[in-house]
Structure 1
Amino acid sequence: MLNALVKGLSCFACGAPHDHRVLQTVCTKCGMPLRVDYDLRSFEPNGPPTLWRYSPVLPIDRKHAVSLAEGFTPLLAAGNGILIKDEARNPTGSFKARGMSLAVSMARALGAEALAAPSAGNAAGALAAYGAAAGLPVTVAMPEDTPPAFIEECRHYGAEVHLVPGNIADAGKWLKSNGPRNAFDVSTLKEPYRVEGKKTMAYELFEQLDEKLPDVIVYPTGGGTGLVGMWKAFDEMQSMNWIGGERPRLVSVQAEGCAPVVKGFVEDSSKTEPWPQPVTEAYGLRVPSPIGGFICLRALRETRGTAIAVAEREIVPAAEELARKTGIDVCPEGGAAWAATRTLRSSGWIKPDDKVVVFNTGTGLKYR
């Protein structure tokens, strides 16, 4: 059932080893996120156009996966060498489907009886759907100002929903105190496997771009799982001799009203600090205390990338501009990424001949 090439788990921070054959959350020594380590061997992607094409670098055999045919989303041209990776095409309309497919698959395989997570919106919907597919009860806690479409989506799939004053950090505290005692926590980077689902975005880029990588990847960043996952995937690719030491320059995009990664990057810090009073209507970016902030900063620096905060007033107009330019249904987080791309190109950080991939992380329908 489990991939025999998995060597084990290790801590992103202190390196402490952990057993991958039992349910794990964070490092038992330092409390930081765990990573999955493989005996990496080169392979040819095969099978249907889903993320399970890359099963040799995923922790569970595809025959035992909880899958709704997630992944292999299209790359769509936006002009001037810019491509949009449209994650809205995933089940439940966002990139969160990738991580939840892996997290729920592993949780079920390792004996979880129920699942729970706090969410700003899309992760809750994805967890509700994949929990339903796995036959596991789901409890989610969400900020009380979450748009109604996200809330009703969770209820539609049978999840128990609790609305909490404050932000996603407050929702997480509520679940810790009040959630079901038998529910396994699949919060962002508080279990090892959502990263494994998100890293497949990098594998897809490599396959879709004819075994090449873009020069720049612009990524809207809340908890940072996707950024961390792609950074991890590039190292795996190098270990399998798919690529050399070159890397796309990673760009972390946040909103001015909640920008802990940007602040940490600008201040040359090794870790992020909690953001006081986070405010943005790009709800996926309203993550004030990302546990994996230190990994995001490491990824940005190792790839010679950058971090940029977008003014709130720019986000929706940028999403509308990109939608009208391409026909893609762009979410506010994707709008932030597009606004950042324009700024970086105007400043010269993105060069005219750079091949650029901008992530639209979900559908805009749930915000309207």
Structure 2
Amino acid sequence: MKNQQLNIGTLITHLVCSKCNATYSHQIVQTFSTCCNVPLSAVYNLNNQTIDAINTSDYTMWRYQFVLPVIDPVNIVSLNEGFTPISQLKKLAHQLSIDSLYLKDEAVNPTGSFKARGLSMGVSKAKELGIKQMVIPTAGNAGGAMSAYCAKAGIEATVIMPKHTADTLKEECRLYGANLIQIDGLIDACGKKAREIAASTGAFDMSTMKEPYRLEGKKTLGYEIAEQFNWELPDIIVYPAGGGTGLIGIWKAFKELITMNAIKGPLPKMVLVQSVECSPMVHLFNNGQLPENYTPKSSAALGLAVPYPFATAMMLDVLRESNGIALTVSEKEMEDGVEEIAEIEGLLLSPEGAATFRATQQLLKIGWAKSTDKILLVNTGSWYKYR
């Protein structure tokens, strides 16, 4: 059966508004829903479908092509992203007095971060839809990823990045031939500039969750986690969230796998981690609103410095549906965490990755996580990108 289905095409049927479920065509260029001004999400016909359709001879995220939105494989723009390793952190687990601690390491992706997944998908679908120019606001890694995939696709790329971003992240955009614009402020200011450029030039705005397809690339994280754990998921997944595409994508993958009767046992509790310097989702989760004196600041964890994420409702849905939690870590905790993990496990994680370890320590301390829980941390990028 598996061999007969290796060439199966995508099962996408339409896009849907994440608030009211109004339907949109996937065969024309779309941004976000015009009915509710919220993200669109891709829907697939999974009736009678099974995971036998996974192309096990493909060791990239495109092994799951049947649940991805690109219609003609000729439009796939790939740099061999995805299928990143999961390893056990046995020494850290022993230090924490827990049974099992795992790491999903996205640092080994092309361009050094999990952004490769979303931008491979977004650029591939843009190519299929005939888009010739793209613009993206970024805290760093997404801009480098879009620059790389646009270079391969022959699409003109413009990247809007905060001036305080690490030089490595700026230089990679230039090397890939992107037009780099630096501005004062955080990614929300970059987003405003991107909208202006899109309006004046006709470039397609690839802002986080303001188009439907980066999410589909990120959801392959969830498919890989399930497959690499032999379809028996961890008890807890700890995820560093800024714009939240990865968190939402992982959960979307799990729900699709439920439809295909592929997952054994209960779904994980999802833990959202942010920096104390910029933690809108923690405020919204705990209090239902941002504080009156809300003053978001930059963070060493560049990907966490997203002061006004577009997909807040979708992230909150994931936390509520999974009986999850949102919490913060300090900049000092992240800095010390990077060093501790390096010294104990020989791994140099991004500040975002270190934040997941510090968050796990908090969860154990308050009794939210148990010593018998199987806990998975997600490291979203390479330490070397932050120099």
Shorter-chain TM range is over 0.9
Show CA shifts across 1:188-214 (max 9, x none).
101101111111111111111112111
Greater than 3 Å deviation, 4+ residue runs:
1-4, 271-275
Query: Is 1:51 aligned to residue 47 of structure 2?
Result: no
1:190 to 210, 215, 230: 210
Q: Conserved in 1, the CA contact under 8 Å of 2:59 and 2:83?
A: yes
In structure 2, the partner of 1:316 is: 335
In the alignment, residue 215 of structure 1 is paired with which amino acid? D
* 1:50 CA displacement: 0.6
In the alignment, residue 183 of structure 1 is paired with which amino acid? A
SS in 1 for 2:310: coil
Show CA shifts across 1:37-88 (max 9, x none).
0001213222221101111111115443100000010011112301111000
Kindly tell me: are residues 279 and 294 of structure 1, through their superposed partners in 2, closer, same or farther at Cα, counting changes over 3 Å? same
Show CA shifts across 1:105-139 (max 9, x none).
00110110111100000000000000001110100
Tell me, in whole angstroms, the C-alpha distance in 1 between the residues paired with 2:156 and 2:293: 31
Kindly tell me: are residues 158 and 293 of structure 1, through their superposed partners in 2, closer, same or farther at Cα, counting changes over 3 Å? same
Query: Is 1:20 aligned to residue 30 of structure 2?
Result: no
In structure 1, the partner of 2:386 is: 367
1:283 to 298, 302, 311: 302
SS in 1 for 2:201: coil
* 1:268 CA displacement: 4.5
In structure 1, the partner of 2:237 is: 217
Q: Conserved in 2, the CA contact under 8 Å of 1:118 and 1:168?
A: yes
2:127 to 108, 118, 139: 108
Between 280-289 and 60-69, report the one with greater CA deviation.
60-69
1:74 to 85, 92, 97: 85
SS in 1 for 2:41: strand
Q: Conserved in 2, the CA contact under 8 Å of 1:285 and 1:333?
A: yes
In structure 2, the partner of 1:133 is: 152
Between 214-223 and 317-326, report the one with greater CA deviation.
317-326
Query: Is 1:42 aligned to residue 59 of structure 2?
Result: no
Kindly tell me: are residues 288 and 148 of structure 1, through their superposed partners in 2, closer, same or farther at Cα, counting changes over 3 Å? same
SS in 2 for 1:101: helix
Tell me, in whole angstroms, the C-alpha distance in 2 between the residues paired with 1:275 and 1:24: 32
Q: Conserved in 2, the CA contact under 8 Å of 1:272 and 1:293?
A: no
Query: Is 1:90 aligned to residue 98 of structure 2?
Result: no
In structure 1, the partner of 2:252 is: 232
Q: Conserved in 1, the CA contact under 8 Å of 2:231 and 2:264?
A: no
Tell me, in whole angstroms, the C-alpha distance in 2 between the residues paired with 1:139 and 1:82: 39
SS in 1 for 2:353: helix
Tell me, in whole angstroms, the C-alpha distance in 2 between the residues paired with 1:13 and 1:272: 25
* 1:274 CA displacement: 11
SS in 1 for 2:372: coil
Tell me, in whole angstroms, the C-alpha distance in 1 between the residues paired with 2:371 and 2:37: 43
Give unpaired runs (5+ residues) of structure 2: 1-6, 94-99
Give unpaired runs (5+ residues) of structure 1: none
Kindly tell me: are residues 245 and 82 of structure 1, through their superposed partners in 2, closer, same or farther at Cα, counting changes over 3 Å? closer
Alignment RMSD: 1.9
**TM-score of the pair, normalised by structure 2:** 0.91
In structure 2, the partner of 1:150 is: 169
Tell me, in whole angstroms, the C-alpha distance in 2 between the residues paired with 1:54 and 1:273: 44
Show CA shifts across 1:173-228 (max 9, x none).
11222456121111110110111111111111111111211100000000000000
* 1:148 CA displacement: 0.6
Tell me, in whole angstroms, the C-alpha distance in 2 between the residues paired with 1:43 and 1:335: 33
Tell me, in whole angstroms, the C-alpha distance in 2 between the residues paired with 1:367 and 1:299: 29
Q: Please give the residue correspondences for 1:150-169 in structure 2 after superposition, counting only pairs within 5 Å.
A: 150-169=169-188
Say which one has the larger Rg: 2
Tell me, in whole angstroms, the C-alpha distance in 1 between the residues paired with 2:292 and 2:38: 15
SS in 2 for 1:243: coil
Tell me, in whole angstroms, the C-alpha distance in 2 between the residues paired with 1:213 and 1:283: 29
SS in 1 for 2:323: coil
* 1:141 CA displacement: 0.3
Between 169-178 and 65-74, report the one with greater CA deviation.
169-178
Q: Conserved in 1, the CA contact under 8 Å of 2:226 and 2:263?
A: no
Tell me, in whole angstroms, the C-alpha distance in 1 between the residues paired with 2:313 and 2:61: 27
Between 48-57 and 177-186, report the one with greater CA deviation.
177-186
In the alignment, residue 123 of structure 1 is paired with which amino acid? A
**TM-score of the pair, normalised by structure 1:** 0.96
Q: Conserved in 1, the CA contact under 8 Å of 2:233 and 2:265?
A: no
In the alignment, residue 37 of structure 2 is paired with which amino acid? G
* 1:243 CA displacement: 2.3
Q: Conserved in 1, the CA contact under 8 Å of 2:117 and 2:214?
A: yes
Q: Conserved in 2, the CA contact under 8 Å of 1:43 and 1:56?
A: no
